[in-house]
């Protein structure tokens, strides 16, 4: 058997030349698509004049000015006033004074970032909890109209967000949920639960029923079997689903920009509004973008084996 396989394999195995050509093209493509991301990072450590120089600078003196400008609000002062101040207390203080400004206070970036964290984790926790229960229900029991219900759950995801936002806006205004973290958590939970149910149903379907049946013969109730047998088996699937929900809620813009304006605003609608003197402060925007993107980069690498499943709602499994 194995000899047949190896012999056959050589027929379909691409030639070394084919591999080399394919590899070169793919690597070139990958490098080109990384240019915008590399540029975000480079811009974040440039000074504002360097960031808008022509031709674009690849070699420059790195500075933390972008990050300082991201985290603070500043006011312009006369050189005399700055001279009279006590010595600077930190790097940002020093950089800011070099531009004839003083730090007036913290910016809104960390509060917005905190909102993003709270809303993303809150909605993910709820969506995955509800989704796990529903997925188990659909996977293990004969539910009347199961296919229709599952399709209904999926179809809620097809609606254009702006179309959903109109009535949600009115409803939230009525119930005092406008611009609240709770309102956003509920909304993102509703959007994510469809993904969670579909993905988790796939994962739970793959756990053999015999495990629970064996546990129940040993005296577990159905709930105990679910808790002590199925959940531990489904951990990988639940973790992958959670990361997908987290990424959606983290990246979401349309609902956030329409339904939050102040205290519950998340980072995506906030970052484009970062401006400096005389227009957009690109190093600060780049710094905010870099911090915002790093968690997603980490999660993408963790998730790489499950990505396919996640993006197709479990329709394609490897």
Q: What x-and-dash track marks residues 63-92 binding other proteins by CB under 8 A?
A: ------------------------------
Q: How far is the CB of 270 from other proteins (least distance, A)?
A: 10
Residues 171-210 that bind other proteins (CB under 8 A): 171, 173, 186-187, 189-190, 193-194, 197
Residue bearing tokens 């800011």: 96
Instruction: State which residue, 10 or 89, has the beta carbon closest to other proteins.
Output: 10
Q: Look up residue 317 and give its two tokens.
A: 């499994």
Tell me: does residue 299 bind other proteins (CB under 8 A): yes
Residue bearing tokens 């004969």: 142
Out of 64, 134, 195, 242, which residue is the one contacting other proteins (CB under 8 A)?
Answer: 134
What element of type H or E holds 105?
strand 101-106
Backbone angle region of 304, left / alpha / beta, with phi > 0 → left and psi within -120 to 50 → alpha: alpha
Instruction: State which residue, 38 or 104, has the beta carbon closest to other proteins.
Output: 38
Residues 221-260 that bind other proteins (CB under 8 A): 221-224, 226, 247, 250-254, 257-258
Q: How far is the CB of 100 from other proteins (least distance, A)?
A: 23
Residues 39-58 that bind other proteins (CB under 8 A): 39-40, 43, 51-56
**Cis-peptide into 55, omega within 30 deg:** yes
HSE-CB at 297 with a 13 A cutoff on CA atoms is: 10
Residues 138-167 that bind other proteins (CB under 8 A): 138, 140-143, 149, 152-153, 155-156, 158-167
Tell me: does residue 35 bind other proteins (CB under 8 A): yes
d(CA 153, CA 4): 47
Q: How far is the CB of 219 from other proteins (least distance, A)?
A: 6
d(CA 24, CA 27): 5
Tell me: does residue 36 bind other proteins (CB under 8 A): yes
d(CA 185, CA 120): 7
Backbone angle region of 17, left / alpha / beta, with phi > 0 → left and psi within -120 to 50 → alpha: alpha
């Amino acid at each position: 058997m194995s000899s047949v396989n190896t012999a056959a394999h050589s027929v379909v195995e691409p030639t070394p030349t084919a591999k080399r050509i394919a590899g070169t093209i793919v690597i070139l493509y990958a490098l080109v698509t990384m240019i915008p991301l590399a540029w975000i990072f480079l811009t974040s450590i440039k000074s504002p004049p360097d960031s808008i120089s022509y031709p674009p600078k690849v070699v420059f003196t790195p500075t933390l000015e972008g990050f300082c400008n991201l985290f603070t609000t500043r006011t312009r002062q006369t050189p005399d006033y700055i001279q009279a101040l006590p010595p600077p207390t930190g790097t940002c203080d020093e950089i800011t004074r070099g531009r004839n400004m003083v730090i007036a206070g913290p910016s809104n970036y960390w509060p917005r970032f905190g909102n993003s964290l709270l809303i993303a984790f809150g909605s993910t926790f709820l969506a995955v909890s509800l989704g796990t229960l529903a997925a188990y229900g659909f996977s293990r029991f004969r539910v009347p109209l199961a296919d229709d219900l599952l399709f209904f759950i999926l179809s809620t995801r097809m609606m254009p967000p702006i179309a959903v936002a109109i009535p949600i806006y009115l409803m939230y205004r009525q119930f005092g949920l406008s611009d609240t973290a709770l309102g956003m958590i509920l909304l993102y939970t509703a959007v994510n639960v469809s993904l969670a149910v579909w993905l988790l149903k796939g994962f739970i379907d793959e756990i053999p029923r015999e495990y629970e049946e064996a546990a129940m013969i040993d005296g577990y109730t159905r709930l105990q079997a679910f808790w002590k047998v199925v959940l531990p088996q489904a951990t990988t699937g639940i973790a992958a689903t959670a990361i997908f929900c987290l990424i959606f809620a983290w990246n979401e813009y349309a609902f956030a920009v329409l339904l939050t304006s102040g205290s519950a605003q998340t980072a995506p609608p906030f970052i484009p509004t970062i401006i400096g003197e005389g227009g957009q402060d690109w190093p600060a925007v780049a710094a905010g973008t870099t911090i915002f993107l790093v968690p997603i980069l980490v999660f993408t690498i963790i998730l790489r084996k499950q990505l396919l499943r996640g993006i197709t709602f479990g329709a394609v499994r490897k």
